[in-house]
Amino acid sequence: MSKLRTMRFFAIVALALLAACAAEPPPQPLKLTILHNNDFHSRMLMVNAFGSTCSTQEAQQNRCMGGAARVATLVATNRAEATAAGRQVLVLNAGDFFQGSLFYTHYKGAAELEFANMLGLDAMAIGNHEFDDGPANFSRFLRGAKFPVVSANTNAAAEPEIRGQFRDAVVLERGGVRIGIIGATTEDTPEISSPGQNVKFPRAETVIAPVVARLRSEGVNHIIVVSHLGLFRDREVAAAVDGIDVIVGGHSHTLLANGLRGAEGPYPVRIKGPAGREVPIVQAGSFSRWIGRLDVDFDAAGNVIAANGNSIEVAQSVRPDPAVQAMVDRLDAPLAQVRTQVVGAAAIDYPLDGCRARECALGNLVAEAMLVATRAAGTTIAVQNGGGLRAGIASGQVTLGAVLTTLPFQNNVATLKLKGSDLVAALENGLSQVAENGGRFPQLAGARLTWELARPAGQRVVSLEVKKPDGSFAPIQPDAVYTVATNDFMRRGGDGYAVFRDRAIDPYDFGPGLDDALANYIRSSSPVRVSTDGRIVNR
């Protein structure tokens, strides 16, 4: 090649490189607004303070909040405000659209799908309750979703019903900036839902870390984890995995907020990652009662330089979105007659608060109903998981709709015989996740439990006494056999109650429906006034 040709060749190459560099835009700062909600749990209609469907009387007294149509209005309003201020917007959901009202019981996710598509989600994490009716039912939701569904630690390679229908992460572009959104799902989904044997849920950190590395190697310098792990686990993930900028959480139903009644922590919670950078973590309660808005500012290198916001109450005064309200009304029409049937009355309020960590009146009520429903089988003790209670019951008239909202899972009352030592082991499991707000906390009837949180998990039962026919209590005998009532989900090992599955004597899982047992108990004992009485004491 002649000298002139050589010079021409290198000149062409240089010009090509300059053109390529000119075509690639320089890094840009980003002002991003994240609108988010989590744990919607089929609350298509407004709810009361207990998370149950709002009654006409409560609505007249302005005591209601939430519902799909008002959530849609607040999302649209905040989207417009952020856009007008020159901000880019993402709308994210952190899982558990399914389960919790007659809408799910009747439509099995189709109602929630229609709403999610109307809401304009940009991405959604997989929640454990999406598997409540198995992978095939969830597949219908995945195939109909007009938005990406993400979970890095849901391994469905061996499950043909949902294989290939969701992603570990998705990259979206806002304002010329690429943003990676990685999903995560609680690892105990096989214990608390029904994903089947073919779907695996490895430890989130082990899967998220390589996905973060992959995205950053591809030039994606803004990483959001949309997580259905719960706040406790979100803190652990933020501290363990480098490169995460924001975590948008769910699963623990935690209201993070500034200046709002009932807030369980600031908005956002800030946790230092391995490199010392603070990772903001947000979550917005549950049951459609709040949405979250986090304004995050990034510099040109993708570093978070500001992260502020709050959870926003979906108040009754918010004007419902007309199109969403019309959809809700259409789907609600066949359900109204069932929902309004009166089964009795409650003399006191039965709030849901605290049922995952201590004795609660609602747990006592349901456990007593199980005992009465299985009296002919000779049961003396009943155990109900706190997480199986999904809404409180207000004092006054109690409808079938309220009962079904409290107990939406269509469980049966199950009975089994169990040695005293095995029952203690089962209760140890129930006390093992109090710090994580786990759903396995045991609500009891027919027994009296003293426990100590400060002790190590597995050693927290201080004493357990069983109620005798004369009303007195006697210490449980390790080798004696007791007849126990529970729900069939727990009896099959759900919520970690493997003892009920593996050591049960003569188990029977096909008793009356748990919702029927509660409705019948309220009907026969109306007005019910079962309250807390010290049957569970944290020493």
In Å, how far from its chain's centre is CA 334?
27
Residue 390: Cβ within 10 Å count = 24
Q: Which of 202, 302, 31, 230 shows the shortest CA–CA distance to 211?
A: 202
User: Is the Cα torsion angle 440, 443, 447, 448 positive or negative in sign?
Assistant: positive
Q: Which amino acid is at 118?
A: M
DSSP-assigned letter for residue 229: S
Terminal CA-CA length for the chain:
90
Q: What are phi and psi of 357, to 5 degrees?
A: -140, -15
Assign domain 341-538 one CATH number from 3.30.470.10, 1.10.3470.10, 3.40.1260.10, 3.90.780.10.
Answer: 3.90.780.10
Residues 6+ apart with CB under 8 A from 8: none
pLDDT of res. 192: 87
Q: Residues 87-109: what's their mean pLDDT?
A: 95
Question: In this model, does residue 3 exceed pLDDT 60?
Answer: no
pLDDT of res. 36: 98
Residue 539: both structure tokens together: 């020493």
Q: Which uninterrupted H or E stretch holds 190? A: helix 189-192
- Please, what is the average pLDDT of the chain? 94
Cβ-count burial 362-372 (b if 16+ within 10 Å, e if not) = bbbbbbbbbbb
pLDDT of res. 22: 45
When mean pLDDT is compared across 24-33, 307-316, 391-400, 493-502, the lowest value belongs to: 24-33
Alpha helices in 374-435 (DSSP H): 400-406, 420-430
Q: Residues 396-400: what's their mean pLDDT?
A: 95
Burial of 130 (0-12, 13-18, 19+ CB in 10 A): buried
pLDDT of res. 55: 86
Cα distance between residue 221 and residue 303, in whole Å: 8
Tokens 């710090």 identify what position?
435
Cα distance between residue 211 and residue 181, in whole Å: 10
Residue 62: Cβ within 10 Å count = 10
Residue 73: Cβ within 10 Å count = 19
Q: pLDDT class for 407, splitting at 50, 70, 90?
A: very high
CATH architecture of 41-332: 4-Layer Sandwich (3.60)
Question: In this model, does residue 399 exceed pLDDT 70?
Answer: yes
Question: In this model, does residue 533 exceed pLDDT 50?
Answer: yes
Q: Which of 289, 187, 272, 290 shows the shortest CA–CA distance to 281?
A: 272
Residues 6+ apart with CB under 8 A from 323: 72, 118
Q: pLDDT class for 52, splitting at 50, 70, 90?
A: confident
Q: Which amino acid is at 504?
A: A
pLDDT tens profile 426-441:
999 999 999 999 999 9
In the chain, where does the domain assigned CATH 3.90.780.10 lie? 341-538
Q: Which amino acid is at 196?
A: G
Instruction: For the chain, give the longest Cα–Cα distance.
Output: 111
Question: In this model, does residue 376 exceed pLDDT 90?
Answer: no
Q: Residues 342-361: what's their mean pLDDT?
A: 97
Give strand ranges (E) for 289-409: 290-298, 304-313, 342-346, 381-385, 396-399
Question: In this model, does residue 371 exceed pLDDT 80?
Answer: yes
pLDDT of res. 13: 47
pLDDT of res. 455: 95
Cβ-count burial 512-523 (b if 16+ within 10 Å, e if not) = bbbbbbbbbbbe
Percent of the chain with pLDDT over 70: 95
Question: In this model, does residue 409 exceed pLDDT 60?
Answer: yes
pLDDT of res. 18: 47
Q: pLDDT class for 283, splitting at 50, 70, 90?
A: very high
Are 398 and 344 in contact by the 8 Å Cβ rule? The answer is yes
Residue 305: both structure tokens together: 């330089």
Question: In this model, does residue 78 exceed pLDDT 80?
Answer: yes
Tokens 């200046």 identify what position?
259
Residue 144: Cβ within 10 Å count = 13
Percent of the chain with pLDDT over 90: 89
Note the pTM of the prediction, 2 decimals.
0.84
Three-state SS for 313? Answer: strand
Q: pLDDT class for 27, splitting at 50, 70, 90?
A: confident
pLDDT of res. 21: 44
Residues 6+ apart with CB under 8 A from 341: 399, 400, 401
Q: Which amino acid is at 217?
A: S
In the chain, where does the domain assigned CATH 3.60.21.10 lie? 41-332
pLDDT of res. 8: 58
Question: In this model, does residue 24 exceed pLDDT 60?
Answer: no
Q: Residues 409-437: what's their mean pLDDT?
A: 95
Partners of 313 in the beta sheet?
290
pLDDT of res. 9: 54
Question: In this model, does residue 186 exceed pLDDT 50?
Answer: yes
Are 453 and 442 in contact by the 8 Å Cβ rule? The answer is no
